[in-house]
Amino acid sequence: MVGKSIEVKWENEWWQATIKKVKAEKSSDKIEKVFVSYVGGTMDEDEWIPYTRFVIVCVREIERDTERDHR
C-alpha cells in the first residue's frame, strides 16, 4: 500500500496524496491509519489520517486511458 496514489476527503473536497506509511491495529492486520504526503503540499502538511477518509485511485491507469483516447 505504501506508494499508492489516493484521494483524501477533507471538508467535502478530495485531495490527491501518496501513502508514505501504514499503521495496523496491534491485534490484527486491519489498517488503522496511513501517513500521507499531499500532491503539491509541503512536509508540514503531511499527516496521519484514518483509513476511512480516503480512496485508492489508479491515477496511472486513468492517464493511460486518456492518452489512448487522444490518439
Tell me how crowded residue 6 is: count the other CB atoms within 10 A of its CB.
20
CB 37 within 8 A of CB 17: yes
The mean per-residue pLDDT over the stretch 62-70 comes to 44
**Is the pLDDT score of 61 beyond 80?**
no
Tens digit of pLDDT for each residue in 4-51?
888 888 888 888 999 999 998 888 878 888 999 999 999 999 999 888
Q: Which residues, 6+ apart, have CB-to-CB distance to 21 below 8 Å?
A: 2, 34, 35
Per the structure, the count of domains in the chain is 1
The per-residue pLDDT for 48 is 93
C-alpha cell at 42: 509541503
The per-residue pLDDT for 56 is 61
**Is the pLDDT score of 64 beyond 70?**
no
What CATH number corresponds to the domain at position 9? 2.30.30.140
Domain around 10: 5-69
